[in-house]
Each structure stands twice: as C-alpha cells, then as structure tokens.
C-alpha cells in the first residue's frame, strides 16, 4: 500500500462541480489501494475577495489578522472537499494547518515551515480515512498564532507533509498536463516532459516557470520527495520530478536541453557612474540585502580608464523596484554615484538543461537564435545548467519561440491548457 499526497490548487476547486470532480479522483486513488492525504488551496477567487474585504476596512491591515482572515479560504474548500468525498461513500476528515501539525516561524504572510508533526493525519490515515489538509497555512511555534506561507504555500505544504508522512509521491495537480519545454500558454508547440531532475526544476522555477514554486522544489529536493505534476482535468501521466532521473534501467543520457523559462516579473536598476573603488559593490548590495530585497542578476561593466567609473546593473522583483531605488538613494553619501535608473519593462529568458554542462556551444546557439529573431540582449548570466538573457519585456515571448525552435523542442501537436490559474 502506497501513501500518496495530492495537492489541488484553487482552479481545481473553483466551484461545487469542480470539487465533486476532484473528490472522484481522490476516492479513485484510495480505491486503487492507496492511503491518501490531500492538500487544498482556497477556491478560485476567494483569496482575492478576502483581500478586497480587508482593503475596504483598512488600507493597512495588521499581518497577524490578515493571516487569520485569509486562512478561512482553505477552511471553506477543505470542508467542501471532505463533504463531496462523503457523498461518494468514502470517509474524509478535514484538518487546518494547525491541526495537521504544520509548525512555522512567526513571520506572518510569509512564514517558513520549521517542523511538521502530523500525528492527527497519521491517525486518520490509519483509520482508513482520507485526510484533507488546508494548504498555505500553519501555526507559529512561539506565539501559537495562525500564519500563512506566502506565494506557492500550498505546494510547499504538500511537499512538507509528504516528507513528514514519508509518502511515496507528492502529486501536484494543476491546469496543464505537466512541466513543458516552455509555458504552453505562451507557446502552444511546447512539449510535455516525462521527467525532469530536481536540479533542472529548481533552475526553471527560479527563472520564471510558474508550474511549481521554488520553495516547494527546494523542500522536495532536500527531503528526496518525488513530485508528480499532472492535470486534474485529465487522466494522462504528467511530469515526474526526481533526483537523478536519467539513471537506472534503460536510462539514456540526460537530454542537453530540458526547457525554456521566461519571466516578466523583474525590473532592472542601473547605477550609473559608480566610483571604481574597493567596497563600493559591497556597500550597495549590503544595503539591498538589509532591505530584504532578493536580487537576481548583477552585471558590472569594465570601468572606463579615463574616468575610473563604472555602471552596475541588477535585476530584482518588480514589486521591490521603488524600495530598491529608495535604498540606493540612501547609500549615495557612502558611494557617490552619478545617476540611478529603474527599468520595469524587461523580460528574462532562460535555457535550462542538465546536459548543457558537457556540451559546449549551447550559449552561442542561444545568442544566435535571439540575434536571428532581431532581439537585443541587455544582460547575460549563466550557471552550469542554465543560460539567461534579459531583453525588452515585449520581446520576451518572441524570444521564447525563437529559442524553443532553435533547440528543436517544438512538439508535433498543441499542448492543452485546461482552466485558469490557482494559488
């Protein structure tokens, strides 16, 4: 008997009909001889509706109370899923994050899981019940207050529970058939991947692939939990994400390229005319780190010999753009630069593949594909299994198509996108 953790996002439980459909799949999984623990997000737009309500009451809701408010969303969906399962003649019990033993730190709105003590879930599974757990939420170890995990929270809940329960697999249900060589919403010729390594998935997630949140992949890699990303709308097998997927019986070598990710959620700040002195970069990025802004790429040009000055550019989440500018204005006394520029209209395209490290020439082919499509590259960064370029935002989808085709990733038939997007 296997133990399966399944996670259903907001679009999979958007209304009563969707909930009944999900319930059928859950019950089928149990009847196939598995113990089943299910993690659910809030229904469709519930979270946005609750945020609207909060905004009507106050422009600055306290984070503790916002968490209390938002966690009612999963409470509603999990109870309804449990009811739908009961209607099918199986036994289900719903549990809040706190009841499921999801223990977090006390940072409201983006708490991190520090322990999972799933005693009640284990008892429910032992009793032959299906356990339904609220995603995205936990309880603070120190204050005993309700916390939320922030973006991608329900995926992280699912993987964390899978690890604590020693589950055989964590199935993440979504509105596409799995992980694709590019976002099938942008590129209908994207091809579904049967398998992706944890390492590659980390790079895809970190560079704009929306299919799984970075935190969830990090958690899964740390605890060795295989993830199966699949559609809640079809019975097709999806994409398996695991360690060393290219080993074992009948294994082939890792494909050179796994896929193309893109991201339009970043901004670029350029600091013009920075004195080329020891410690300038340390001061700048020390201040940025202190403001808890995550930066992605950093590019520093060679300084012009005649001026002794250089330009530094870096990318950061668009939402942190204004904050980043204000932090940099604050360091001008220590690092007397000439000018600051914020550019919101950038896009990033990344080519990811574990086989890349043993195949020289991938970068050259990547740049040529972009050049042939008439796309200018503004910044470049690379890792062992990835090469990324920053372009104009309105060119990034063209860039995805050009690179996808240049690396022979196009499928012969179009990908299916089933519904909206969940949390």
> Residue 99 Cβ, how far from its own copies at the closest point, in Å?
7
Please state whether beta strands 169-174 and 227-231 pair in parallel, antiparallel, or not at all (unpaired).
parallel
Distance in Å, CB of 147 to its own copies, minimum? 13
The minimum distance between CB 235 and its own copies, in angstroms, equals 23
Determine whether the annotation assigns residue 47 to a binding site.
yes
Nearer to its own copies, 72 or 303 (CB): 72
Q: Which is nearer to its own copies, 16 or 371 (CB)?
A: 16
Give the shortest CB-61-to-its own copies separation in angstroms: 4
Was 7 annotated as part of a binding site? yes
Closest separation in Å from C-beta 174 to its own copies: 22
405 annotated as belonging to a binding site for a ligand: no
Residue among 81 and 227 whose Cβ is closer to its own copies = 81
Q: Is 394 annotated as a binding residue?
A: no
Cβ-based nearer residue to its own copies, 116 or 409: 116
Q: Is 219 annotated as a binding residue?
A: no
Task: Rank residues 146 and 217 by Cβ distance to its own copies and give the closer one.
Answer: 146
Closest contact distance (angstroms) between CB of 19 and its own copies is 6
In the complex with its own copies, the residue whose CB is nearer, 76 or 186, is 76
Nearer to its own copies, 70 or 274 (CB): 70
What residues make contact with its own copies under the rule CB under 8 A?
15-16, 19-20, 50, 53-54, 56-62, 64-66, 68-69, 71-73, 75-76, 78-80, 82-84, 86-87, 92-94, 99, 120, 144
Q: How far is the CB of 81 from its own copies (least distance, A)?
A: 8
Residue set of the binding site for substrate: 47, 74
Residue set of the binding site for ATP: 7-10, 174-175, 185
Residue set of the binding site: 7-10, 47, 74, 174-175, 185
């Amino acid at each position: 008997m296997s133990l399966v953790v399944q996670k259903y996002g907001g679009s999979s439980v958007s209304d009563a009909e969707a909930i009944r459909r999900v319930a059928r799949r859950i019950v089928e999984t149990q009847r196939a001889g598995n113990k089943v623990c299910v993690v659910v997000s809030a229904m469709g737009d519930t979270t946005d509706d609750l945020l609207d309500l909060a905004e009507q009451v106050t422009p600055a809701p306290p984070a503790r109370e916002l968490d209390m408010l938002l966690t009612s969303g999963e409470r509603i969906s999990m109870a309804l899923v449990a009811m739908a399962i009961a209607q099918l003649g199986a036994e289900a019990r719903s549990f809040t994050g706190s009841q499921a033993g999801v223990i977090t730190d006390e940072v409201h709105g983006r708490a991190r899981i520090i322990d999972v003590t799933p005693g009640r879930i284990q008892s429910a599974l032992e009793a032959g019940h299906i356990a339904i757990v609220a995603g995205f939420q936990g309880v603070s170890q120190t204050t005993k207050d309700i916390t939320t995990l922030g973006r991608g929270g329900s995926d992280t809940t699912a993987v964390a529970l899978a690890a604590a329960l020693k589950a055989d697999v964590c199935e993440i249900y979504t509105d596409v058939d799995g992980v694709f060589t590019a976002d099938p919403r942008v590129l209908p010729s994207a091809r579904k991947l049967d398998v992706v390594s944890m390492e590659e998935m980390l790079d895809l997630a970190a560079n704009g692939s929306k299919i799984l949140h970075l935190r969830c992949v990090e958690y899964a890699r740390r605890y060795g939990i295989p993830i199966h990303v699949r559609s809640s709308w079809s019975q097709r097998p999806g994409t398996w994400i695991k360690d060393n997927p290219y080993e074992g019986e009948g294994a082939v070598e890792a494909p050179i390229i796994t896929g193309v990710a893109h991201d339009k959620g970043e901004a670029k700040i350029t600091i013009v005319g920075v004195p080329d002195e020891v410690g300038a970069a340390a001061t700048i990025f020390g201040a940025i780190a202190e403001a808890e802004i995550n930066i992605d790429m950093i590019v520093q040009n060679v300084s012009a010999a005649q001026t002794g000055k250089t330009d530094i550019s870096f990318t950061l989440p668009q939402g942190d753009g204004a904050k980043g500018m204000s932090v940099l204005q604050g360091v001008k006394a220590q690092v007397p630069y000439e000018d600051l520029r914020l550019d919101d209209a950038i896009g990033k395209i990344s080519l990811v593949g574990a086989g890349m490290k043993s195949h020289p020439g991938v970068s050259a082919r990547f740049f040529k594909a972009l050049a042939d499509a008439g796309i200018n590259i503004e910044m470049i960064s690379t890792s062992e299994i990835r090469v990324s370029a920053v372009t104009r935002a309105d060119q990034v989808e063209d860039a995805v198509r050009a690179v996808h085709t240049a690396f022979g990733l196009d499928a012969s038939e179009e990908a299916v996108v089933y519904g909206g997007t969940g949390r």
